[in-house]
Structure 1
Amino acid sequence: MDEVSLELDDIQSGALFERPSPYVGVYLLLSIRDGQDGRELVRRLHRLLTAAGEASEAGKTSLTVAFTYQGLKALGVPKASLESFAPEFRQGMAARAEILGDVGESGPDHWEKPLGSADVHVAISVLAPDEDRLRAVAERARRAHTELPGIELIWRQDCYQLATGRTSFGFKDGIGQPAVEGSGRPATDSREPPLKAGEIILGYPDETGELAAMPSPEVLGRNGTYVVFRKLHTKVAAYRSYLRARAKSRAEEELLGAKMVGRWQSGAPLALAPERDDPELGSDPVRNNDFAYGDDPRGFKCPVGAHARRANPRDALDHEGSVDVRLHRMIRRGTSYGPPLPDGVLEDDGAERGIMFVFAGAHLKRQFEFVKTQWLNDGIFIGAPLEADPLVGPHGEAGTFTIPQRPIRRRLQDLPPFVVTRGGEYCFAPSLGALRWLADLEPDDPATERGSR
């Protein structure tokens, strides 16, 4: 029995429940030019949202609404409440780019406008099983803002998930989500009990037994969650060409790719299928996540520096004593955008393609930022301080990746960056009660409501 009873009828459904699969979707960013219109927008969006408690039915359309710090400010949230949010959220992702490793080609100076700017206030995502249902909900969201002159649509990104569930790199994604206590969603890893609800949703005890710092007043913070979204351009042709140049056969090429990712393209984990792909295993939503790394400390089955193992070391760090992996778990969603590069093509066609990554959790710093900086960008925790994540790490001019094998390990040299950050935002997805509170705000100074462009 779950020890915590989540207030599911007050939590936005996108924070806890799986999306339809496959799906089509759209991300929208809005700017609030008039506070009164902004609060009317919130009132209208509130009517469109589905509570988490009503979203357990498979195949439903998913609508999520979140706000940046600047967006809450534009709505007229009092200063004391604004200052009660996490400092990382108040600063915004662009201000923390260097910490996150978003430098050089991935730096904010090169981000897709208006990502990272003070003009981004409201983020809306709509995901649906098919185009007809997407259009129906997206049209309702469109009417909610187009009738308000003080609201401007400033960015749109269409996205999708293929029936195979694979990303632009060709690997099945969305595996390994943690279960959350009180959500009713079962765990797929028998070794990982559900996370304490407070790791994902504010207002409940987390894995430390404490309540995470929560925005005030309580109606604003409780049942909300922080949301990170990042637009990542994937250099698929460069990735394929790199593997092709270092493999003697297609089979070796597939193996090298699996070693870098930690899984075969089917989703089968190397921990369970170290020698060859097992598509049946990869397609099994329980078996493909039910494994550990403790029996493979040196990484002969799955390299310790592989992407999936870095992002979730599971039991591999138990011997460290001071590392509690559960403190760094979060909900992670990946969504593809742009046309897939046709199979076998090794030349870049110039098309924009990649992944919209979305993370949800109650602790921006010790969840997303910790995993990004300590586990993906750095190799100290695996004893390879000069090695970053081979797939998503910032390699600068050249990186390396070690594949343990007998009798002599193999080291891949001159890894180029395969992923470039196009932009991102730190957002807050309020509860349904908090949305009502935001809609009913009274501005401190009505004279400053308009013309805040």
Structure 2
Amino acid sequence: MAVSDETLAQPLEWRDTALWPMLDDLQGNILKGHGRDHTMNHFLRFDSAKIAAVKGQIQAIGTQVTSAIRQLHEAEAFREFGRPGGTNVFFFLSASGYAKLGITPPSGDAFKNGMDSRSLGDPSMSEWETHFQHIDALLIVADDSVTKVANAAAHLTARFQTSGIEIVGVDAGHALRSDPSLNEPKGRGIEHFGYVDGRSQPLLLVDEVQREISLEGEFSGWDPQFGPGDAALVRDPGGKTPDSFGSFLVYRKLEQNVRDFKLREKALAAELGLTGDDDERAGAMVVGRFEDGTPLISAPAATDPNPTPNNFNYDDDPLGLKCPIHAHVRKVNPRVPNDAEQRSHLMPRRGIPFGDPDRDLEDEDSFPTGGVGLLFMAYNKELERQFEVTQQFWANSFDFPNGTAHGADGIMGQGINDDQMWNSEYGEPGEEKPFRFANFVTMRGGGYFFAPSKSFLKTLIQ
């Protein structure tokens, strides 16, 4: 019996054995992040004259792709016994990849036409790094050791060249982490500007929801529970079972200019008259959280929480007097309680930083102006409804979410040429000052992909 839409409309109890056939056919990393600290992301192009050989290679990879059920069992073994999991492998096709294989792709105009055709404020494709141009597939290999990732990738790709698959480029991802703690034994994920990253995720599994409740209590501020059938899963038209699912993947390489970002933080603090310990609030006004993860809506100073709070909303701050309307985390998740339409645009994110993971994040003299950043990845049920709304109509907009022109998102907003408005006081009306904080994150390329079911991959030439 096929898994019902009603079951998929709420977090899944993955230990229910009735769901295991579906989870065995679904690629991992969709319902829960793989958690590995290193990845090699291979961008592939197919030789149209060797499609039979290409299909054979994809089918071979399909036998190696990590299933959702395997990933979840490995994650449980790590939590309970400290037993590390193995190398994870994930495979994706673009619309052009489907076309070269002669297979009808999943439907959707955004996927069909490609990221470069959409109105996202991005640089033109001619300015993208060349390995993002005209890509047919993406292969991701992930593990907690650079050596293990490299060895596994070499084995998987050994016959690509003779089989009509060209590796046109590789992005290497390396996680950045804070110091380990009791609740975060590997440390909290951070990004190159120095801020805790990865919170406010839609939670698609019952055990993830229960863990959140154990850390923060019942959801009185913001409810992170989402049904995977609403947020991520798409029935795979090429799958071989009634419960074959996939998901649309957004991939964007976002380069960060850390030095200029930090200098601009200081300039904003000076403009607003924030001095001494209070000067850190300038950066928190841009991001919406302090570097340690303290939400600005909750406190005017960092409190080093553990875990990083997530159970909050902005109901008592409609004018943005505590947390600016245009702060990054408020822009991309406005947290309006019981607003089903607004929640429908959120998506599970699975990004990882790129660039030197060992650099000193506190050494101002060595702050990079490029070469580091975030490999943004997010799974979507509908690209147009989820990612494209949050990028085009939320992050890039000057008047979202409350209809007043306070400014665009200073982190994710693209092509910003106007000042945002900043309140100099915390929690009460003060002098609003115009100040432009933008363009320290540059989109270097990306694409839309689909994560097919394992049964599709394993039977490609049958």
Q: What TM-score does the superposition give when structure 1 sets the normalisation length? A: 0.82
**Match in the other structure for 1:25:** 39
Q: Deviations over 1:264-283 (max 9, x none)?
A: 111222233x221121x1x4
Cα distance change on mapping 1:185 and 1:38 into 2, 3 Å: farther
Q: CA deviation at 1:358?
A: 0.1
1:101 counterpart (104, 121, 133): 121
1:259 matched to 2:285: yes
Q: How does 1:320-331 map to 2 (within 5 A)?
A: 324-331=341-348
Residue among 209, 212, 223 paired with 1:186 = 209
Q: How many residues align?
A: 406
More deviation, 348-357/422-431? 348-357
Aligned to 1:375: 394
| CA deviation string 1:72-115 (max 9, x = no partner) | 111221xxx23x5211001001111xx1111xxx3322111031
Match of 2:168 among 143, 154, 159: 154
Deviation at 1:325, TM superposition (A): 2.0
- Segments of 5+ residues of structure 1 without an aligned counterpart are 204-213, 441-453
Contact 1:241 1:346 (8 Å CA) reproduced: no
Partners of 1:160 and 1:227 in 2: how far apart? 19
Counterpart AA for 1:178: P
- Say if 2:216 is the partner of 1:197: no
Percentage of pairs with the same residue: 26
Aligned with 1:438: secondary structure?
coil
Q: Does the CA-based 8 Å contact 1:169-1:236 persist in structure 2?
A: yes
Give the secondary-structure state (helix, strand or coil) at the position aligned to 1:114: helix
| 8 Å CA contact retained: 1:243, 1:256 | yes
Moved more, 410-419 or 366-375: 410-419
Hey, what does 1:300 align to over in structure 2?
321
Name the CA shift for 1:409/1:142 in 2 (closer, same or farther; >3 Å): farther
Q: Summarize the Cα distance change of 1:265–1:348 in structure 2 as closer, same or farther, 3 Å threshold.
A: closer
Q: Secondary structure at the match of 1:17?
A: coil
Q: Distance in 2 between matches of 1:112 and 1:49?
A: 27
The answer to whether residue 89 in structure 2 is matched with residue 63 in structure 1 is yes
Q: In 2 relative to 1, CA 306–196 (structure 1 residues): closer, same or farther, beyond 3 Å?
A: same
Q: Please state whether the residue corresponding to 1:332 is helix, strand or coil.
A: coil
Moved more, 133-142 or 338-347: 338-347
1:238 equivalent to 2:264? Answer no
Q: For 2:282, what is the secondary structure of its paired residue?
A: helix
Which whole-Å CA distance do the structure 2 matches of 1:49 and 1:378 have between them? 39
User: Structure 2: how far apart are the matches of 1:349 and 1:332?
Assistant: 25
**Cα displacement string for residues 142-161 of structure 1 (whole angstroms, at most 9, x for unaligned residues):** 22524x33111101111111
Question: Do the aligned residues in 2 keep the contact of 1:201 with 1:362 (CA within 8 Å)?
Answer: yes
Bigger shift: 149-158 or 394-403? Answer: 394-403
| Aligned residue runs from structure 1 range 52-451, under 5 A | 52-56=68-72, 57-58=74-75, 59-60=84-85, 61-77=87-103, 81-82=104-105, 85-96=107-118, 99-102=119-122, 106-115=123-132, 117-118=133-134, 120-143=135-158, 145-146=160-161, 148-164=162-178, 165-180=189-204, 184-186=207-209, 188=212, 190=219, 191-192=222-223, 194-203=225-234, 216=237, 219=240, 222-248=244-270, 249=275, 251-272=277-298, 274-279=299-304, 281=305, 283-284=306-307, 288-315=309-336, 324-339=341-356, 340=359, 342-345=361-364, 349=368, 351-380=370-399, 381-385=401-405, 387-403=407-423, 405=425, 406-440=428-462
Distance in 2 (CA, whole Å) between partners of 1:95 and 1:62 is 31
Q: From 25, 33, 38, give the equivalent of 1:10.
A: 25
Distance in 2 between residues matched to 1:338 and 1:401, nearest whole Å: 32
One-letter amino acid of the structure 2 residue matched with residue 113 of structure 1: T
Question: Does structure 1 retain, via aligned residues, the 8 Å contact 2:27–2:65?
Answer: yes
Partner AA of 2:56 in structure 1: E
Q: 1:209 aligns to what?
A: none
- Matched residues in 1 for 2:66 and 2:349: separation? 20
1:421 counterpart SS class:
strand
Q: CA 1:242 to 1:350, structure 2 compared with 1: closer, same or farther past 3 Å? A: closer
Could you give the per-residue CA deviations for residues 284-304 of structure 1, whole angstroms, max 9, x where no partner exists?
1xx522222223222233222
Higher deviation after alignment, 39-48 or 135-144: 135-144
Indicate if the aligned counterparts of 1:258 and 1:270 stay in contact, CA closer than 8 A.
Answer: yes
Question: Does the aligned pair in 2 maintain the 1:226–1:360 contact within 8 Å?
Answer: yes
Structure 2: which 5+ residue stretches go unaligned? 1-5, 13-18, 76-83, 179-188, 214-218
Letter in 2 for 1:296: D
Q: CA deviation at 1:184?
A: 4.5
Tell me how far apart the structure 1 counterparts of residues 437 and 415 of structure 2 sit (CA, whole Å): 7
> AA paired with 2:414?
P
Q: Residues of 1 paired with 2:276 and 2:147: CA distance?
A: 40
Q: Do residues 51 (structure 1) and 67 (structure 2) align?
A: yes
CA-based RMSD: 2.6
2:30 maps to amino acid: A
Distance in 2 (CA, whole Å) between partners of 1:253 and 1:424 is 35
Would the alpha carbon gap of residues 107 and 384 (structure 1) be closer, same or farther in structure 2, given more than 3 Å must change?
farther
Q: 2: distance between equivalents of 1:310 and 1:271?
A: 13
Counterpart position of 1:444: none
Q: Is the 8 A contact 2:325 2:406 kept in 1?
A: no
Distance 1:411 1:124, change over 3 A: farther
Structure 1 residues 151 and 167: CA distance shift in structure 2, 3 A = same
Q: 1:16 to 1:215 in 2, by over 3 A?
A: closer
Do the aligned partners of residues 346 and 392 (structure 1) sit closer, same or farther apart at CA in structure 2, a change above 3 Å counting?
A: farther
Give the counterpart letter for 1:278 in structure 2: T
Task: Report the Cα distance in structure 1 between the residues aligned to 2:255 and 2:330, rounded to whole angstroms.
Answer: 22
Q: Aligned partner of 2:57: which letter?
A: L
Shift of 1:372: 0.5
